[in-house]
A = this chain, B = another copy of it.
Amino acid sequence: MPIPTPAMVTTDCAVFRVSEHKLEVLLIARANAPFAGCWALPGGFLEPDETLAECAARELVEETGVVPDYLEQLASYGDPGRDPRGRTVTIAYLGLKSDTAQSLAAADDAADARWFAVSSLPSLAFDHARIIADALTRLRAKLSYSSIALKLLPAEFPLSALQNVCEAILGHPLDKRNFRKQILGLGVVEDTGRRQRLGQHRPAMLYRAATTRGIQIFR
């Protein structure tokens, strides 16, 4: 029986937010080799006593200061040669950050941390461009059959904000009346009774994520 070859295990996070109608992803400028100075997904080596998800969240906070509002495993990438340091396998996570102002704090392995519009990404280290593409595909797909979009919004939000988020992710406009009909029909949001007056126009009703856990599918 061959002796098992150890590999380095890392996690990487593709964290998205929607800001001013644009879908953005969080990147760091790498401080160290390999790819020093290059933009990359925040991530790092797995430590002995943490789960994969804990590692992803920890590295994200260490490198960017961003605490994600949602994190799910995306996929793993382990082609030989993806990392010039040697054999590494990375477990990639898809993260979402609700759109509330928060300063970025680059630290640790990161020289800088910035949000980039997914429509104009810089060239990326490792296979991170591929990971982001896969994350986007997943995000767009889940939009239609889950309440994942709510994670990109604050606790209370008008329906127009939810529609903006969906449009930013899908990259095309949606019909307002059909959108509201569908969202309310799904029962994933509920009226708070409160309303938001903001700007020189009619105030918007505020909604929150419904307390019913998960999506109900009958039959």
Tell me the A residues contacting B by CB distance below 8 Å.
1-2, 4-9, 32, 45-52, 73, 75-80, 87, 89, 91, 109
Contacts and interface: CB of A to CB of B under 8 A. Distances in A.
A7 B8 CA distance: 6
Contact of A52 (B4, B50, B51, B78): B78
Given A6-B7, A6-B8, A47-B2, A91 B78 contact: yes
Identical copies in the complex:
2
A76 B79 contact: no
B91 A46 contact: no
A10 B89 CA distance: 11
25 contacts: A1-B32, A1-B109, A2-B45, A2-B47, A4-B8, A5-B45, A5-B48, A6-B7, A6-B8, A7-B7, A7-B46, A9-B9, A9-B78, A46-B78, A46-B87, A48-B80, A48-B87, A50-B80, A51-B79, A51-B80, A52-B78, A52-B79, A52-B89, A75-B75, A89-B91
A6 B175 CA distance: 51
